[in-house]
Amino acid sequence: MKKNSKIYIAGHHGLVGSAILRKLPELGYENVVYRTHHELDLTRQKEVEQFFDQEKPEYVFLAAAKVGGIMANSRYPAEFIYNNLAIQTNIIHASYLNRVKKLLFLGSSCIYPRLCPQPIKEDYFLSGSLEPTNESYAIAKIAGVKMCQSYNRQYDTRYISVMPTNLYGPNDNFDLETSHVLAAFIRKFHEAGVKGLKEVEVWGTGVPRREFLYVDDMADACLYLMDHYDGIKIVNVGTGKDISIRELAGIVARVTGFNGDFRFDPARPDGTPQKLLDVSLLHDLGWKEKTGLEEGIRKAYQWYVKHIVTTQISEF
């Protein structure tokens, strides 16, 4: 990308899109375009085609998606498959019609089989059955990867796909029923501390293992891969380190200053037992994360207190 290239961020309000939007001007990219959901409904093919025809972006970060944690994915599978298929199909095809120079598609580590060997190599893609709690979302993301690869093969486009591990940070969703675990923990432990509660509820058994990447590092990786990667293979983006949900609860309790106990609720789903990415390809390409887990959680907690807690108090 040149500093004056026209860059479109689809999903600039979301966790990853907003991090890319913060990073681009820091690096001197000034010709960035984006639209709110109200201005452009990405599930509407005609609107998307009109937007591309008008703006003619040269580079596209496809970070728009319907996302959520384990409960949202299992409760609303129709919304997850419909919205994600529609959004990505419209954007990828409009990019082709308007000769976009390069597109980066954000997938997810849940595209890999539920019980595949750990750490998960890119080669395990499509080698087994998916985790049932997020199958609809995973199928949509798999279709997105295949669409990028198919367009590259048939039309000679340059569409790359990256598979992030579990992400967290500024602009996360802190709704307790639909969020991912880290955002949920930040809110639950903070509120328990404020209310002086003795216990915090942790879903499932606490045994599943997950890997976490701070979203500013994810944005940095996206920009790096846009400039340095042109392969057909998908690329895992993570840290290559995982921890159990119980251990994660311990860290968030420490960061938020909560001194009570955890109450595990086995009636809530555990999801996939382990999700740890093999990041050798990413490291070989020359990229590594900068933010440690506890440091990232501290930053995310500061953001939460400043933007969510303070807003709630002033609205009250």
**Residue 168 a catalytic site member:** no
**In angstroms, what is the minimal distance from the CB of 297 to ligand GFB?**
14
108 binds ligand GFB (CB under 6 A): yes
Catalytic position from the list 29, 112, 137, 229: 137
Binding part of the chain for ligand GFB, among 21-29, 69-77, 154-162, 290-298 by CB under 6 A, reads 69-77
Q: Determine if 277 is a binding residue for ligand GFB (CB under 6 A).
A: no
Q: Which stretch binds ligand GFB (CB under 6 A): 34-42, 177-185, 254-262, 307-315?
A: 177-185
Of 51 and 203, nearer to ligand GFB (C-beta) is 203
179 touching ligand GFB, by CB under 6 A: yes
Tell me how many degrees the CA angle 192-195-196 measures, rounded to the nearest 5. Answer: 80
Residue 219 sits in the site that holds ligand GFB (CB under 6 A): no
Q: Is 204 an interacting residue with respect to ligand GFB (CB under 6 A)? A: yes
Q: Of 29-37, 54-62, 93-101, 178-186, which part binds ligand GFB (CB under 6 A)?
A: 178-186
CB of 91 to ligand GFB, least distance (A): 20
Catalytic residues: 137
Name the residues that contact ligand GFB, by CB under 6 A: 69-70, 73, 108, 110, 133-134, 137, 166, 179-181, 184, 202-204, 208, 210, 245, 268-271
